[in-house]
Structure 1
């Protein structure tokens, strides 16, 4: 499916009765997204949900993104534009906008992605059917390349179901052991973010930490709809996260430390051990031997060490010398 686009019509006010619906805040975060900005911002304009608060945040882009954002803000005066003078990183930039926002629900929207027109309406309707202890509704996504060509869906589908298998409800152990949530599809309850104090600004990325801390206290719900187009980039953070000296791995270790402190049962510690074991293998594979030893020490605290884990820790210790 191609990226959504709309004509640049004159902005209109919300339809009658829109103010009775929950306000949804879209924090549109941009850093050097100029080639993709029009499709992203047009997809906000194309939303069928009428009660939106839009905050445009440019994190000191160097590619002309600010000019495009100024143009859209001028033509949509209800949108707030924030041009940050220095690069803050996603966590801090999001938090600054979140603290200014008012919405009952919040979307962290990277402006190289695309929202499908029914996205917000579908997720708000889902929230309204759920108990108030649900903090997140997430969905399936289409993955597109830099030319907006369809690549695949986030979840593979066959006779056995969806892969990776999505989890709903109390998903704390699930988020410890495996990746299954498409981050750009999340609609978050404001109360959830407020309880957490927003994102952890000391980290290089936000999603794993948010899942761990939120899932301890809030339920998550998987809505089986495609609501978002997530853009794939060859140089994305997840593709370079295990290169030596990249802050991605250090953040992952910090989140695993938090997760260990939050574990309450042997089953949860076993779930965390699955994650730590995988991270240990990646760290050693990419030559992050000090981090490998840190991960092994955390793995020991789960009381789930296997012989291969011990051998990898010995190898990492030898290579550090």
Structure 2
């Protein structure tokens, strides 16, 4: 049988200084066939010219230059809904793929039952200049990793804690299609995908380093530590969806742990409206726990 097509959706917004390294890492993949979509979300730093250069040099690649910034989720969907790959990578062009990334992950997917919707792996964090900072899943010296990966039915895990390195994900197209793609009302995508997909699909961790994730002041992960977290409203919107998805008291308690964390996060940053939302959601989840106990 022919190997499955993998779609790489390379999302760019003002990544000019990192863009060539990112796109060269796509070219360096030891896996074929690939379907590559280059999506620029209205960059102002010269990124479109670099993307045009790579598209011209690789005629099979698709180029989508958006005239205005429409947000990550909508920009991703613009390419995803036109793509065809059985598996999909959401690739931020300030990161780097290691050469065996796709061959390793596709081989794992092909050994798994068809209800596995996503595989993920370890990654190396790097500075703006590319210097190694450390691993996402760090060995603790006792044969364990921190944060602890989870595999199989991980809905309860994704509610209660962060452990997946987003840039390492390879998603099954069918899982994304079942969700209707990313929720375009949200300002970021990964937590929503984890919650909604893990309800009906299993996830699998692969203990290899497949990706280099760049840490810099403009990255999404850096912005959540700022005084005003621009993504907190989206996090609470996902938690609101999760209330109805909980089927057991343990799952609802896991969501309550997440909400207590988000409430503390909002209070520390004096985001009072978000704190009120988190408090009300916490009340709703406690009611959900009581209701689910009554059904048991």
Instruction: Return the TM-score normalized by structure 2.
Output: 0.94
2:229 is the counterpart of 1:229? no
CA 1:242–1:119 in 2, change beyond 3 Å: closer, same or farther?
A: closer
Q: How far, CA to CA, are the matches of 2:227 and 2:126 in structure 1?
A: 28
2:187 is the counterpart of 1:209? no
2:121 is the counterpart of 1:139? yes
Q: How far, CA to CA, are the matches of 1:70 and 1:225 in structure 2?
A: 33
8 A Cα contact 1:242 1:283, kept in partner: no
Q: How far, CA to CA, are the matches of 2:257 and 2:229 in structure 1?
A: 23
Q: Give the corresponding residue for 1:163.
A: 146
Q: Which of 120, 134, 139 lines up with 2:102 in the alignment?
A: 120
Query: For the aligned residues, what is the CA RMSD?
Result: 1.5
Q: Which of 245, 251, 255 lines up with 1:272 in the alignment?
A: 255
Q: How far, CA to CA, are the matches of 1:237 and 1:52 in structure 2?
A: 27
Q: Which of 89, 100, 104 lines up with 1:107 in the alignment?
A: 89
Q: Which of 218, 221, 224 lines up with 1:241 in the alignment?
A: 224
* Partner SS for 1:181: coil
* Partner SS for 1:214: helix
Deviation at 1:156, TM superposition (A): 1.0
Deviation at 1:301, TM superposition (A): 1.9
Deviation at 1:241, TM superposition (A): 3.1
Q: Which of 179, 191, 202 lines up with 1:196 in the alignment?
A: 179
> Could you tell which deviates more after superposition, 246-255 or 138-147?
246-255
* Partner SS for 1:57: strand
Q: Give the corresponding residue for 2:203.
A: 220
1:53-112 superposed Cα distances (whole Å, 9 cap, x missing partner): 001111110000001011111111111111111111110000000011000000000011
Deviation at 1:171, TM superposition (A): 0.3
1:113-158 superposed Cα distances (whole Å, 9 cap, x missing partner): 0000000000000000000000000000000010011000001102
1:286-309 superposed Cα distances (whole Å, 9 cap, x missing partner): 1011211211111112228xxxxx
Unpaired segments of 5 or more residues in structure 1? Answer: 1-18, 305-321
* Partner SS for 2:52: helix
Q: Give the corresponding residue for 1:284.
A: 267
Q: How far, CA to CA, are the matches of 1:236 and 1:229 in structure 2?
A: 13
8 A Cα contact 1:29 1:57, kept in partner: yes
Q: How far, CA to CA, are the matches of 1:180 and 1:196 in structure 2?
A: 22
Deviation at 1:243, TM superposition (A): 5.4
8 A Cα contact 1:242 1:286, kept in partner: no
Q: How far, CA to CA, are the matches of 1:118 and 1:81 in structure 2?
A: 24
